[in-house]
Chain A
Amino acid sequence: MGKRILTVDDSKTMRDMVRFTLSGAGFEVVEAEDGVKALSLLDGTRVDLIITDINMPNMDGVTLVKKVRAGTSHRSIPILILTTEGGDQKKAEGRAAGATGWIIKPFAPEKLLQVVNKVCPSS
């Protein structure tokens, strides 16, 4: 079965870009607009990797990471956070919450793929 990746971002542009890049590389991509929607999607859905933005309405990325790690169904899956250059503080917060790694925005498609493959290889 192909790997399924959940992209969580309030920006449709970002979700589209992530989807475009990853589905082109054979991943299945599912989307959520914020942490709350991501959690309800995760309930009962297998996901192999989460890529989440930090700044989102309703539930931000750091809280999402914490909740996923505290849950049962997906607590051992890799989670990548999207940060901007110089967002070291956010990176550290995400790390502390249990994030696996990070991707710096803006990213080139192959950079995104490289990082994704590092934590969740397509094969």
Chain B
Amino acid sequence: MNSDRPDTDEFAQFRQTFFEECAELLSALEEHLADLQERAGDTEELNAIFRAVHSIKAGAGAFNFTRLVSFSHTYETLLDALRDGQVHQSEAVTAALVRAADVLATLVEAAQEGRELAADFGEAEGAELAALLQQAGLARHTDTPAPDAVSAVTDDTSAKSASTRYSIRFAPFPELFRHANEPLLLIRELMRLGDVAVTCDTSRLPNLGALEPEDAYLAWDIEIETDRPLADLREVFEFVDEDCDLVIAPEAHLPVAEPIDDEESGTATMPAEATQTVPHPHLATTSQLPASTAETGGAGQAAVNQKSAGVTSIRVDLARVDRLVNVVGELIIAQSMLVQQSHSDAGDTPQLTTTQGFDEIATLTRELQECVMAIRMQPVKSVFARMPRMVRDISAKLGKKVRLVTAGEQTEVDKTVIEELADPLTHMIRNAVDHGIEPPEVRLADGKPEQGTVRLTASHAGGNIRIELTDDGAGISREKLFAKAVEKGLIAPDAKISDEEIDDLIFAPGFSTAAAVSDVSGRGVGMDVVRRNIVNLGGRIAMRSEAGKGTRFTLSIPLTLAVLDGMLVAVGREKYILPLTSIVESFKPDPAHVRALTGGGEVVFIRGEYIRLIHLSRIFGVSEAIPNAWDGLVVLVESTNNNKIGIVVDELIGQQQVVIKSLHDNFEPIPGISGATILGDGRVSLILDVEQLRRMPDHVSGRRERASAPCSDTGSAPIPSPEAEAPLAALA
């Protein structure tokens, strides 16, 4: 046997497994042979027998049991011929198969015990199989294949030759990618064989509109200097041979390289025979290199050439991108400042050319900003991809059967958002598997499929990314949620709250629905933390659950934390920003349609619906604001759960893209406010948080009372009155 294969000895540890498997395979073989005797020619039986013999052969090959390989190969060949109908199953054939099985068993046994069998053992049976094949005119491959297979394995012994220079033209057919081959990996493989200079030929690239994303368009001209034989180079391209035009020519075949005095001379640099076999319509544009590298012979040039080979992305320090984003943000502020200045300089009628110029700058700035933001955008895939593993691990641990289905992995969102999403999502999915999906027996008893499904999807909705997490588990009824909240002392037993407020209880601090603390979900971190994470991202989370059917969480998070399309509104001397995406409409209400409620607060009747009105002036204690809704405007806004509220403002100033500055980082969180921005005139304006506003009680306070709203998300904080501008100015 080949003692010069120390490598496969690494596999020796698997011998035991192999013999255990052989025992199974041999008994299966016997069983199926018995069945075959009753059902001659049965394909299923033949397939099973073939597989058993084939598996024994494959394993035997790995451990170098040559006699076993040789015999099982002959055996397998006859079985294959039987399957194909080339040999018909007669009594003689069946008998031969059974005898061969016995020989195989003995060979396995001998291999296992390391016993030498007589030299002629199994010879008669082997000859019998070969004879049957020969009768059918199939004398193929009955010789022992093992030595060949073995030598094919050890291919690195080829004698080193002096280094040779080859010129390779590698032009994939469009369908190359269908087999998931990757040209760049092949080039990388070549680089291991020698010094490589690569030129990428992009001439087949069509216009973007005509580009088929799954087709291969690039071609490569590669110069390689290697001491390996030509066969090694060919082997690199082994898998793509049928999917490309490939010419590998030794340099000696190259025409003498002419000095490159002008660009035209490059046209003749491919080897003559290569140009005969492969048409190179685009050679002129790409072929300066093969000849010239030969001349300069420079490794430096090689490096340069490699660089040009299809680099499509670069890695950039995130801090640099952040700096860029910031500068663009400042640019936008400066630009709107300039617009404002020119307006006040020229009165109401600025020069037409000035206006046009500003419009153009505005468009360009906006575009610039979008480009910069796009740099930070990444598919959510990186987060989603971590989840299947986790689901597998947890469900295995809990003895549950859970399938995770993901969709929309390609949805892009700001990198910061992605990073912040990982924790809450992990937590929620863990919850879904732990508390949501029932054990298999419970599911079966409930008439559900044994395997639970957790679905995680992402999509774009306006300026937001919408993530949905659905499970088809036990769910929870509103009654149960309510009872639990009462039990935990979160609400009074007689509290009257809406359905959706009940759903929201799951996010209340101190609320946990787990019947028992498990080591999977643990204790402590609850959905309140998840919500805080999401809210910190400027996002919203809502839950809807139905007992027996499952639970759905809906997350809506701004695509970027840096910029917001806003509507600037005036309230007294204050200006606030409302996120444009939340605005449904604005209208001037009829005084008759505005009703005061007994407990305080106001509603407006519009299109058969009562909408709660929120006076910003009252909540934030702004003076000199218009007191009555009908004298000002009502902006109808919508929060995550499609809950509408009307926000009473003095007037709408205009739409504006604003750069968000965090209050968390620069000041402190304020209920009803999600952030701040700097306006063109240098003043700080606060960005309104519609969802929080909706949850806030009406603090009717014409007085300058610094209301502190009991909002669980953020705790209590002083509401800034106009004087609060001083500390906020630090944001700039």
Q: A residues engaging B (CB < 8 A)?
A: 1, 10-14, 16-17, 20-21, 43-46, 55-57, 69, 76-79, 82, 84-86, 95, 98-102, 104-111, 117-119, 121
Residue from A20, A57, A117 in contact with B51 in the complex, judged by beta carbons closer than 8 Å: A57
Residue ID in chain A nearest B387 by CB atoms: A44
Q: How far is the CA of A7 from the CA of B145 in the complex (A)?
A: 25
| 6 A-B residue pairings within 8 Å (CB atoms) | A11-B21, A11-B58, A57-B48, A84-B149, A86-B141, A95-B242
Q: How far is the CA of A117 from the CA of B189 in the complex (A)?
A: 9
**Cβ-defined contact, B185 with A106, below 8 A:** no
Supposing A1-B385, A13-B21, A119-B185 touch, asked if A100 and B179 sit within 8 A by C-beta, the answer is: yes
**Cβ-defined contact, A11 with B149, below 8 A:** no
**Cβ-defined contact, B186 with A118, below 8 A:** yes
**Cβ-defined contact, A55 with B8, below 8 A:** no
In the complex, whether B50 has a CB less than 8 A from a CB of chain A is yes
**For residue A20, which residues in chain B have a CB less than 8 angstroms away from its CB?**
10-11, 13-14
Q: How far is the CA of A110 from the CA of B55 in the complex (A)?
A: 21
**Cβ-defined contact, B149 with A106, below 8 A:** yes
Shortest A74–chain B CB gap in Å is 9
**For residue A111, which residues in chain B have a CB less than 8 angstroms away from its CB?**
153, 155
**For residue B64, which residues in chain A have a CB less than 8 angstroms away from its CB?**
106
In the complex, whether B526 has a CB less than 8 A from a CB of chain A is no
**Cβ-defined contact, B404 with A44, below 8 A:** yes
Shortest B571–chain A CB gap in Å is 50
Q: Give B58-94 interface residues, CB cut-off 8 Å to A.
A: 58-59, 61-62, 64
**For residue A100, which residues in chain B have a CB less than 8 angstroms away from its CB?**
179-181, 239
Shortest A4–chain B CB gap in Å is 9
Supposing A11-B58, A43-B403 touch, asked if A85 and B148 sit within 8 A by C-beta, the answer is: yes
Shortest B374–chain A CB gap in Å is 24
Q: How far is the CA of A118 from the CA of B238 in the complex (A)?
A: 11
**For residue B145, which residues in chain A have a CB less than 8 angstroms away from its CB?**
84-86
Supposing A108-B5, A121-B188 touch, asked if A44 and B154 sit within 8 A by C-beta, the answer is: no
Q: How far is the CA of A55 from the CA of B57 in the complex (A)?
A: 12
**Cβ-defined contact, B18 with A46, below 8 A:** no
Supposing A13-B18, A109-B11 touch, asked if A45 and B185 sit within 8 A by C-beta, the answer is: no
**Cβ-defined contact, B388 with A45, below 8 A:** yes
**For residue B177, which residues in chain A have a CB less than 8 angstroms away from its CB?**
76
Q: How far is the CA of A92 from the CA of B123 in the complex (A)?
A: 33
- Given A11-B21, A119-B181, 9 new contacts (CB under 8 A): A10-B55, A21-B10, A44-B406, A45-B392, A85-B145, A105-B149, A108-B5, A118-B186, A118-B239
Q: How far is the CA of A112 from the CA of B460 in the complex (A)?
A: 43
**Cβ-defined contact, A105 with B10, below 8 A:** no
Q: B residues engaging A (CB < 8 A)?
A: 5, 7-8, 10-11, 13-14, 17-18, 20-21, 48, 50-51, 54-55, 57-59, 61-62, 64, 141, 145, 148-150, 152-155, 177-182, 185-186, 188-189, 214, 236, 238-239, 242, 385, 388-389, 391-392, 403-406
**Cβ-defined contact, A44 with B185, below 8 A:** no
**For residue A106, which residues in chain B have a CB less than 8 angstroms away from its CB?**
8, 58, 61-62, 64, 149-150, 153
Total A-B pairs in contact (CB under 8 Å)? 130
Q: How far is the CA of A14 from the CA of B58 in the complex (A)?
A: 8
Supposing A43-B403, A46-B388, A78-B180 touch, asked if A101 and B238 sit within 8 A by C-beta, the answer is: yes
**Cβ-defined contact, B11 with A17, below 8 A:** yes
Residue ID in chain A nearest B6 by CB atoms: A108
**Cβ-defined contact, B178 with A13, below 8 A:** no
Q: How far is the CA of A77 from the CA of B178 in the complex (A)?
A: 9
**For residue A46, which residues in chain B have a CB less than 8 angstroms away from its CB?**
385, 388
Q: How far is the CA of A79 from the CA of B178 in the complex (A)?
A: 11
**Cβ-defined contact, A110 with B185, below 8 A:** no
Q: How far is the CA of A46 from the CA of B148 in the complex (A)?
A: 37
**Cβ-defined contact, A108 with B392, below 8 A:** no
Residue from A76, A108, A117 in contact with B8 in the complex, judged by beta carbons closer than 8 Å: A108
Shortest B7–chain A CB gap in Å is 4
**Cβ-defined contact, A17 with B62, below 8 A:** yes
Shortest B330–chain A CB gap in Å is 37
**For residue A107, which residues in chain B have a CB less than 8 angstroms away from its CB?**
62, 153
**For residue B20, which residues in chain A have a CB less than 8 angstroms away from its CB?**
12
**For residue B152, which residues in chain A have a CB less than 8 angstroms away from its CB?**
85, 104
Residue from B10, B59, B185 in contact with A109 in the complex, judged by beta carbons closer than 8 Å: B10
Supposing A16-B14, A44-B391 touch, asked if A99 and B179 sit within 8 A by C-beta, the answer is: yes
